[in-house]
Amino acid sequence: MRTANAVVRFMRGEPFAAVGAAIYAVIVIMALFAPQLAPYDPREMLRQGRRIARYLPISSEHWLGTTAGGHDVLSQLIYGARAALEVGLTAAIAVVAIGTLLGLLAGYLGGWVDKLITRIADIALGLPFLPFMLVLAALTTPGTRVVIVTVALLLWPNTARVIRSQVLSLRERAWVEAARVTGCSTARIMFVHVLPQVLPLAALYGSVAIGWAILAEAAASFLGFGDPESISWGVMLQDAYANQALGRGAWNWFTPPGLAIVLMVLSGFLVSRGSEKLLFPKLAEQ
């Protein structure tokens, strides 16, 4: 009961975070209940009489019209949430896990470990994101796996850097000293004592990382390096572009998937901005 009250108060005080969380919730619901919510099977080529129902405009049967292949746009949009969440969550977890672990090690152990990790981080930052993903996709197999790997490999330094600073300051605190003195092993101190303290910060970066992953997947799909079998917002956009939807003015087709991406990434930003005050009240007081 108390936590519920705290959450409500938080939501009222931080409208940005509340809106972000609401958008997330909608997307999660869309993904979980896609079969129930979507009016049609997204892969089904619908027909109008004897012809394929291509490029139908907005109507009461097709709230967002149909694509060049006769698929219902709205259904594709709803199912697209699944791909978005899959890619987003997996990549975010990977990035945050790697970033937190490396940041923890670098910050706590210092010395050559720190230098080594920082060097590797510099290299990761020196590699351009999209080109790397492209090349990786071309040399292995295109698909969501490549997107996730690229995100995990190239985007961890930002998280790591921040975690590292926090660990550096936590390291000097009295209770860490106390743990050291009572003979706790380094590993134990790092993972049992320090790690839980930095997790909120990691979670913050996680919510932003989901957004980056989705943008990456969309870009990859658009360039033709995504998974053509899946139904994702990026694939929808690529489909539209390739089928000259722009020239035909099929706004109903290519606007919604982009908007969906915007909303999802935006909600990540909003939640992280709003949560800062909750997780770091000291920062707000300054």
37 near 77, Cβ under 8 Å?
A: no
| CA separation for the pair 150, 161 (Å, rounded) | 18
- Decide if residue 266 touches other proteins (CB under 8 A): yes
Residue 257, amino acid: P
3-state DSSP of 77-137: HHHHHHHHHHHHHHHHHHHHHHHHHHHHHHHHHCHHHHHHHHHHHHHHHHCCHHHHHHHHH
Q: Give the range of 25-33, 65-73, 183-191, 266-274 binding other proteins by CB under 8 A.
A: 266-274
Return the bridge partners of 66, or none.
Answer: 72
94 to 123: interface string for other proteins, x by CB under 8 A: ----------------------------xx
Nearer of residues 67 and 100 to other proteins, judged by Cβ = 67
Q: Is the dihedral of CA 110, 154, 159, 84 positive or negative?
A: negative
Q: In the range 233-252, which residues lie near other proteins by CB under 8 A?
A: 234, 237, 240-241, 246-247, 249, 251
Residue 219 Cβ vs other proteins, minimum distance, rounded to whole Å = 5
Number of residues that bind other proteins (CB under 8 A): 46
- Decide if residue 228 touches other proteins (CB under 8 A): no
Q: Distances in Å between the alpha carbon of 194 and those of 164, 174, 283?
A: 11, 12, 19
Nearer of residues 137 and 179 to other proteins, judged by Cβ = 137
Return residues touching other proteins (CB under 8 A): 15-16, 122-123, 125-132, 134-136, 138-140, 211, 215, 218-219, 222-224, 234, 237, 240-241, 246-247, 249, 251, 254-255, 257-258, 261-266, 268-270
